[in-house]
């Protein structure tokens, strides 16, 4: 059941002029789609809106209208803005350097998000865990703001819906999601084009990376996982892994949970591991990620942990196995009653 848009959010937007729109590090289609969709909607009602992201725009999403305008935090004077609108992000640390800048300038935050793990860190928090994408929520916000959805906004918003639902395949793809998508299509956004630019795009080097990573894939007690080393990334000429690998693991019939672990280094050079989790319907990896300091949704979540790849994999896989066992008992209990 969708709740209504908070009146405080509508009032805050209608009574101010200058907005900064931001989303999270390691941005996905819903992060870019909601930030850029929001700037188009705000501009369509005569407001000033600037997109900012904690990292340079990924070339994968450079096709989105407005992507060329996205600024890095160091190029922004936060104090000039009335509000920062935080989209598709569950906690303020996810906006990187802009977090400290916002605290210093004491610029108030408006939060619009669908992560169940959202920490409600804004002065107004509109959080709908039932929504399939933040972009889906924005189609409703557009109506409440009387903001016309032009072609630019429609393309951005449909991209977020398509990527977060893996093209209408996730369990949260309700009739409301389909209605929102249909509306955006009617505004001119091309579904096949967006699918081609996102989910159906597989650079050859990513395929080579998977070729190197998949021999090490493991399955134990219905948890499947793979680890990606820096050496494998370098050998395949990749900067990062690709979220689609987790979609492949998530489909493994013999597993209820899946994980990809990617070896990284933080700014100070210390080893860290990015963990990305998926769960089948009836299972929940959102809680596990939240307990580990990350966040996400029941079926898809993640976190970043300090430590070597081997050490983090051992610790987290043990936790996932334990959690899957516990949830299987609860799940089966539910089914049999």
User: Out of 88, 241, 263, 323, which residue is the one contacting Mn ion (CB under 5 A)?
Assistant: 88
Helix, coil or strand: residue 54: coil
Do 294 and 302 touch, CB atoms closer than 8 A?
yes
Coil, strand or helix: which one is 20? strand
Query: Using the rule CB under 6 A, is 300 a contact of ligand 5GP?
Result: yes
Single out the residue of 139, 258, 276, 284 in contact with ligand 5GP (rule: CB under 6 A): 276
CB 209 within 8 A of CB 238: yes
Q: How many residues make contact with ligand 5GP (CB under 6 A)?
A: 19
The answer to whether 129 and 114 have CB atoms below 8 angstroms apart is yes
Output the DSSP codes for 91-160.
SGGGGTHHHHHHHHHT--EEEEE--TT----SSEEEE-TTSS-HHHHHHHHHHHHT----HHHHHHHHHH
Q: Is residue 91 near ligand 5GP by the rule CB under 6 A?
A: yes
Site residue total, Mn ion (CB under 5 A) = 4
How far apart are CB 319 and ligand 5GP at their closest, in Å? 15
Query: Is 164 one of the binding residues for Mn ion (CB under 5 A)?
Result: yes
**Sign (positive/negative) of CA torsion 203, 204, 205, 207?**
positive
Find the binder of ligand 5GP among 152, 165, 232, 304 (CB under 6 A).
304
Q: How far is the CB of 152 from ligand 5GP (least distance, A)?
A: 24
DSSP class of residue 76 equals -
The crossing angle, in degrees rounded to 10, of helices 204-213 and 243-250 is 50
Smallest gap from Cβ 235 to ligand 5GP, in A, equals: 22
302, 309, 316, 324: residue in contact with ligand 5GP (rule CB under 6 A): 302
323 binds Mn ion (CB under 5 A): no
Q: Is 63 exposed, middle or buried (0-12, 13-18, 19+ CB in 10 A)?
A: middle
Q: What is the DSSP letter of 296?
A: E
Site string for Mn ion, 12-41 (x = CB under 5 A): ------------------x-----------
- Rounded least distance, CB 189 to Mn ion, Å: 18
Interface pick for ligand 5GP out of 33, 51, 160, 295 (rule CB under 6 A): 295
Query: Which residues, 5 to 64, sit near ligand 5GP by CB under 6 A?
Result: 24, 26, 28
Rule CB under 6 A: say whether 94 interacts with ligand 5GP: yes
Question: In the bound complex, what is the minimum distance in angstroms from residue 328's beta carbon to ligand 5GP?
Answer: 22
Question: Which lies closer to Mn ion via its Cβ, residue 138 or residue 233?
Answer: 138
Query: What's the CA gap between 237 and 211, in Å, rounded?
Result: 13
Query: How far is Cα of residue 74 from the mean position of the Cα atoms in its chain?
Result: 23
The residues with which 304 forms a beta bridge, in sequence order, are: 274
Query: Which residues are within 8 A (CB) of 196 and not within 5 positions of it... i.e. 6 or more apart?
Result: none
Please give the residue whose beta carbon sits closest to ligand 5GP in the complex.
302
Closer by beta carbon to ligand 5GP, 96 or else 243: 243
- Our CB check for ligand 5GP shows the closer of 81 and 225 to be 225
Total residues belonging to the chain? 337
- Least CB distance from residue 276 to ligand 5GP, whole Å? 3
Q: Give residues 102-141 in contact with ligand 5GP (rule: CB under 6 A).
A: 115
Query: According to CB under 6 A, which one of 134, 139, 152, 301 is a site residue for ligand 5GP?
Result: 301
Q: Supply 130's token pair.
A: 């039932």
Interacting residue ranges for ligand 5GP, rule: CB under 6 A: 24, 26, 28, 90-91, 94, 115, 243, 246, 276, 294-297, 300-304
Binding stretches for Mn ion (CB under 5 A): 30, 88, 134, 164
């Amino acid at each position: 059941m969708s709740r209504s848009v908070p009146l405080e959010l509508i009032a805050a937007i209608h009574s101010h002029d200058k907005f900064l729109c931001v989303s999270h590090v390691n941005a996905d289609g819903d992060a870019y789609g909601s930030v850029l969709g929001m700037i188009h909607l705000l501009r369509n009602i005569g407001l000033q809106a600037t997109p900012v992201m904690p990292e340079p725009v990924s070339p994968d999403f450079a096709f989105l209208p407005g992507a060329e305008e996205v600024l890095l935090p160091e190029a922004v004077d936060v104090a000039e803005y009335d509000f920062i609108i935080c989209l598709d992000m569950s906690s303020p640390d996810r906006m990187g350097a802009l977090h400290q800048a916002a605290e210093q300038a004491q610029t108030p935050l408006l939060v619009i998000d669908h992560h169940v793990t959202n920490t409600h860190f804004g002065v107004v928090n509109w959080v709908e865990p039932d929504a399939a994408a933040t972009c889906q929520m924005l189609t409703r916000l557009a109506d409440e703001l009387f903001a016309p959805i032009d072609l630019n906004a429609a393309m951005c918003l449909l991209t977020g819906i398509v990527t977060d639902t893996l093209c209408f395949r996730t369990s949260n793809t309700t009739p409301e999601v389909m209605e929102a998508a249909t509306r955006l299509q009617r505004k001119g956004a091309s579904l096949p084009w967006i699918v081609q630019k996102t989910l159906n795009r597989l650079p050859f080097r990513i395929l080579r990376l998977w070729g190197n990573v998949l021999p090490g894939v493991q399955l134990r007690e219905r948890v499947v996982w793979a680890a990606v080393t820096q050496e494998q990334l370098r050998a395949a000429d990749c900067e990062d892994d690709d979220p689609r690998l987790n979609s492949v693991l998530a489909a493994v019939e013999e597993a209820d949970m899946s994980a990809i672990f990617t070896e990284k280094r933080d700014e100070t050079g210390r080893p860290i591991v990015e963990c990305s989790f998926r769960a089948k319907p009836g299972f929940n990896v959102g809680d596990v990620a939240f307990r580990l300091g990350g966040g996400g949704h029941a079926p898809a979540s993640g976190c970043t942990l300090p430590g070597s790849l081997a050490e983090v994999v051992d610790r987290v896989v043990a936790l996932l196995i334990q959690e899957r066992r516990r949830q299987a008992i609860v799940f089966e209990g539910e089914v049999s009653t």
